[in-house]
Structure 1
Amino acid sequence: MFQLGWLSAKLFFRGKLLREPMYFIQQTAIGIGAGLISLLSLAQAEIPLCIPITISSLITGGLMPFLLKDFKMK
């Protein structure tokens, strides 16, 4: 398992893992932005901070599979 992770990391840093790296960066940025907006809007409420963090993490985690459904690797 460690070898697979190491090989993937080496290919990623060489630029040979992703077919369309800009698509991956764009979709990831959209997901991060949605999570950040939800966190900042929920953090304004008078509730403990762990609740907005949990909710925004669930939103971001649920959104990423839809954003990266067309993601292709080499």
Structure 2
Amino acid sequence: MNRSMKGFLYISAWVVSWLLFSSIINAGFITTNVYEAGGKGGILTLFISAIIAIAGAFSLYKEVFPNDLPKSK
């Protein structure tokens, strides 16, 4: 599989994971009346979970694709 396809699949998997994670957290907060549906709390949850997902994607990239990193001289 070429590098572009690996990158596309890696990013797609992280986007799906991020949306699933944030939806589960958001549903829990709405169910427990932390905030109401459609409010600013949902946007804040989505934003914070996006930061977590981006950090996770960057930190795990070296583990997932060790052969795709540029070789240091």
- Output the TM-score relative to the length of structure 1: 0.54
Which of 36, 47, 52 is 1:48 aligned to? Answer: 36
- Determine the structure 1 residue equivalent to 2:18: 31
Q: 2:34 and 2:53 mapped to 1: Cα distance?
A: 28
Q: 2:40 and 2:18 mapped to 1: Cα distance?
A: 19
Report the Cα offset of residue 33 of structure 1: 0.8
Report the Cα offset of residue 46 of structure 1: 6.1
Report the Cα offset of residue 25 of structure 1: 0.7
> Percent sequence identity over matched residues?
6
- Determine the structure 1 residue equivalent to 2:65: none
- Higher RCO, 1 or 2 (CA under 8 Å, sep at least 6)? 1
User: What is the Cα-based RMSD across aligned positions, in Å?
Assistant: 2.9
Which of 38, 41, 52 is 1:63 aligned to? Answer: 52
Runs (4+) off by over 3 Å = 46-49
Structure 1 residues 23 and 39, CA gap change in structure 2 (3 angstroms)? same
Unmatched tracts of structure 1, length 5 or more: 1-17
- Output the TM-score relative to the length of structure 2: 0.54
